[in-house]
A and B are shown apart, each in its own frame.
Chain A
Amino acid sequence: MDYSQFLNMHDEISLIAVIVILFLADLFLCGEHKSEMASKAMSLLPSGLLLLQTAYIASALICPCGNGIVDAFGGMYHNTPMMTLVKVVLNIGTIIVFLMANNWLKRPENQVKEGEFYLLTLSTLLGMYYMMSSGHFLMFFIGLELASIPMTALIAYTKNNQESAEAAAKYILTALFSSGLLLYGISLIYGTCGTMYFNELACKFDTNNTLQLVALVLFISGIGFKISLVPFHLWTADTYQGAPTTVTGYLSVISKGAAAFVLFTILFKVFQPMIEQWDIIMLWIIIFSITIANIFAVRQNNIKRFMAFSAISQAGYLVLGVMGGTAQGMTSLVYYLFVYMVANLGVFLIINVTEQNSGKINISDYNGFYQTNPKLSFIMTLCLFSLAGIPPFAGFFSKFFIFMAAFNAGFPVLVFIALVNTVISLYYYLLIVKAMYIMKSNEPIALFKSDSYSKIAIVICTLGVVFGGIISCIYGYIDILSNLSYGM
């Protein structure tokens, strides 16, 4: 066997290197009694190393040698520049999550398990890398499981908290159920086609084959659990509410984004002959996701639960890019993912600092927030406006592009329903803004100063929200990469 093939997987190998270094650092630096130095090093090291790794894999995008498409292990591993770009986006999100988590991890009860948080998070990230760059269903399945098994441990991170354990139980049971369905679907694909390589599968599908249709349905439901689209969303609200806030932020953006991108590539590559069938399935799933999640979001009081329903509805918008499987759809999906990531993480950052400093997580607790913390409430408003899609924030442009892609793919009715739902979503996002600015409260959340790591993350998110839409070269650049990698 040719071991030099491993070196073709730049992104994954560099991430594994980061994980190993962090593991050793955790071994020698962490413990019951940490010195000041070790504690400082442990907060800087993970984000710093991940930043270096991001720069390393992004350098391949700036000066591409050849067409940038990498194959290894006989097609098991397949990477295009577009996938590398999505990995860079996910990395940025993970860095923001690390900055967000820092203050929380320094608490006395989390001191001993500080390193574990970083290791588990990076393991799930590695799983998503492999899931995206897979060229074979085995690789895809292993990546998917590597992304979801450590996630359970992250959700149950606060060990003595019953809510956290309950959320983890609900997550792992539904994840197991969905992987059971997915596995059965893959077995039917293997039985009807005799191979599991993506590039060999495409020509072996036949729309009249019932087993293959069942396989398609099982595949969509298996991955629908991961993206938490509407009939498969029931775990989402409970898990998001019970998990630690940083983990909720990670769950709502990073794992969802990776799964949505994989859904696009596999539907396009493998299920290409069945495009009419999966277009209809996705059409109804998107309509239900957007509408039902919006209706449920209106009646929530816990802000994490509220954001869970908002995330389900945003996932519906995200997979609008899948419709029709066009290059434009791929571009707008990745752009939407980027914009959604900065806006959603911005909201979660503010929820997190508020929870850390005052312990309050209900929407009614935010009454009078503007009087005491004007800067934070202003930034939260920007992020919520971006999520709702109000110009000139980035969210408007991302929604516009994704609607345009779905419209050009030939789904005007779907775009119309999505537009109507944007208005409903504006209503419930404004409920929070109203609580912060207009509602009076006898005991508002007192003025607090957020820690410097969170501040850096908040600045990154705010810049992304404000300038992500105006700087048009971002979309143009994604479009170039998308056209380069389309169909590969």
Chain B
Amino acid sequence: MPEHFEAGPTPEDKKRILKERAAKLARAPEKEGAAGSLEILEITLAGERYGLESLYVREVYPLKSFTPVPCTPAFVLGVVNIRGQILPVIDIGKFFDLPHRELTELSRVVVLRSGAAEFGLLADEVTGVRLVAPGEIQASLHAVTGIRAEYLKGVTGDSLAVLDAVRILADKALVIDEEVAG
């Protein structure tokens, strides 16, 4: 039935189809860069990958030199000078009792900030940034890592443990406030 073929879709149909297609195409990117997807900074601690919400990461700074501060707990690496600001650096691996790693050229200070709380976390390496849909982070039922569940925000589909930056920043155990007993 050649007539039928020649007739094809009517102009109205064509318009409708094109519109539908356009709508589909237009929606796609919206879905991806979508509202609410989380940007996660991937770091390495004691050979394992962890994530940190980049919302709370002020900057990442190569650990060039640091000054140890005496009379502080072992999890305090020391202080660094970042553009004139003196910033404490916490060896979070040591705080979590993870196996010790030597400092290397890849060692990074991840400066976390939320409200007034601000300090650097020592990471063995920073491997990159990726986007994660918020639904993808699930509370882990059993500990997948050596880090206590209270410090974890959750675990992604490919079992990347995302640290709870807000919880860590607010943790009083990481605040040094000691007086010499009279």
A and B form one complex: no
Question: Which residues of B pack against A, CB within 8 Å?
Answer: none
